[in-house]
């Protein structure tokens, strides 16, 4: 009995604290009347008005489109290179210094060069997004391949598995849990890259919207843009976890729940 009370009670406590925090914010904002801290209610009101508009939603759609394109390219390159480096010691040693350097490079650093080469449009933005999320995926793929057990490797050798077949039928599925964890991180990083590229680039988007509100000094609108972004990030993460659970049901069973956050 106590256990089930606790189970229901726990998330309720979290929600209660959250609502309490909102109430405190509301009271403080109303009493202070600062233009930079609008009360929660006015943010919600603005959100209610702005979020369903076509302008806003088109912007969101554009951001998501670029994220998807950048994700596809970045993840593809990351997984591909990760598999190659994981299966061949020679390839790994050859690419290692370059990868280590690029991996530590913040995505913003390639923006000006990308602008000079590709302009301010979608091409530049997608490139920046792809670069931003490629390396975590690569690193996780590589780690996943190297974590494949020696017994599996020996079995593959005994079962006459050739080099190419080994990559696709042994390393890829074996590294999948690690790859998927990397992809999940990549989604969050991708969102960051979306915002960065939209700050400097042209064309519609959520990041651009937020930047615009700063110049327009429309503070509630800025808040609701940021809020939407946070919500988007949360929802994408949750969707990813659900998909992960389904694809990796075999893995969760064998090692138990709670694989990484």
Partner 1 sequence: MSRLAEAMEREQPAPRAAAPVLRVSDLSKRYSADGPPALSGVTFDVGEGELLAVVGPSGCGKTTLLRLLCGLIPPSAGAVLFDGEPVQRPPREFALVFQDYSRSLFPWLNVSRNVMFPLRGAGLARAERIARAEAVLAEVGLHGVARSYPWKLSGGMQQRVAIARALVSRPELLLLDEPFASIDALTRAELQDLLLRIHSGVEHRRVTIVHVTHDIDEAVYLADRVLVLGAAPGRVIGSIEVGIARPRTQTTTRSSPQFLAVRNQIHDVIAAKEATR
Partner 2 sequence: MLRRVNLAGWSFVLLVTVLVEAGVRLFDLHDSVAAPSATFRALAEGLSSGALPGELGTTLEAYGEGLALAVACGVALGIAIGSSRTLLDATSVVIEFLRPIPAVALIPLAILFLGLDTPMRRVVVAFGAVWPILVNTSYGVRGVDRFLHDVARTSGVTPIGRLVRVTLPAALPSIATGIRVGASLGLLICVTAEFVTGTGGIGAYMHQQQNAFQIPELYAAVVLIGMLGYLINTGLRATESRVVFWVGEERLADR
Q: Which residues bind partner 2 (CB under 8 A)?
A: 9-11, 13-18, 21, 36, 90, 93-98, 100-113, 115-117, 136, 139-140, 143, 147, 181-182, 188, 191-192, 195-196, 199-200, 207, 210-211, 213-214, 217, 219, 222-223, 225-226, 229-234, 237, 260-261
Give the single-character DSSP code of 46: H
CA distance 119 to 211: 19
163 binds partner 1 (CB under 8 A): no
Residues 126-155 close enough to bind partner 1 by CB under 8 A: 149-152, 154-155
Chain-centre distance for alpha carbon 176 = 17
Which of left, alpha, beta for 171 (phi over 0: left; psi -120 to 50: alpha)?
alpha
Alpha helix segments (H runs only) across the chain: 2-32, 40-50, 54-87, 89-104, 111-118, 122-146, 150-158, 163-166, 172-200, 206-216, 219-247, 249-255
Which of partner 1, partner 2, none is residue 195 near (CB under 5 to 8 Å by kind)? partner 2
Q: Which segment (40-48, 172-180, 189-197, 220-228) binds partner 1 by CB under 8 A?
A: 172-180
Q: How far is the CB of 155 from partner 1 (least distance, A)?
A: 5
Residues that bind partner 1 (CB under 8 A): 149-152, 154-155, 157-160, 170, 173-174, 176, 250-251, 253-254
């Amino acid at each position: 009995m106590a256990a089930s009370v606790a189970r229901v009670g726990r998330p309720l406590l979290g929600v209660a604290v959250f609502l309490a925090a909102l109430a405190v914010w509301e009271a403080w904002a109303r009493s202070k009347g600062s233009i930079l801290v609008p009360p929660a209610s006015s943010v919600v009101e603005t959100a209610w008005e702005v979020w369903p508009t076509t302008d806003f939603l088109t912007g969101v759609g554009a951001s998501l489109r670029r994220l998807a394109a950048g994700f596809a390219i970045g993840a593809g390159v990351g997984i591909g290179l990760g598999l190659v480096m994981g299966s061949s010691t020679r390839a790994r040693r050859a690419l290692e210094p370059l990868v280590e350097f690029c991996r530590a490079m913040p995505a913003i650093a390639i923006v000006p060069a990308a602008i000079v080469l590709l302009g301010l449009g979608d091409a530049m933005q997608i490139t920046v997004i792809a670069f931003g999320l490629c390396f975590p995926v690569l690193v996780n793929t590589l780690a996943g391949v190297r974590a494949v057990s020696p017994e599996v490797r020996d079995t593959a050798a005994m079962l006459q598995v050739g080099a190419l077949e080994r990559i696709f039928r042994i390393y890829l599925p074996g590294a999948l849990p690690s790859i998927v964890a990397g992809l999940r991180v990549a989604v969050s990083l991708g969102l960051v890259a979306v915002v960065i590229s939209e700050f400097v680039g042209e064309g519609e988007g959520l990041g651009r919207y937020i930047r615009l509100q700063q110049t327009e000094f429309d503070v509630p609108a800025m808040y609701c843009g940021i809020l939407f972004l946070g919500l988007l990030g949360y929802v994408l993460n949750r969707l990813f976890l659900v998909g992960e659970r389904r694809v990796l049901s075999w893995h969760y069973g064998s090692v138990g729940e709670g694989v990484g956050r």
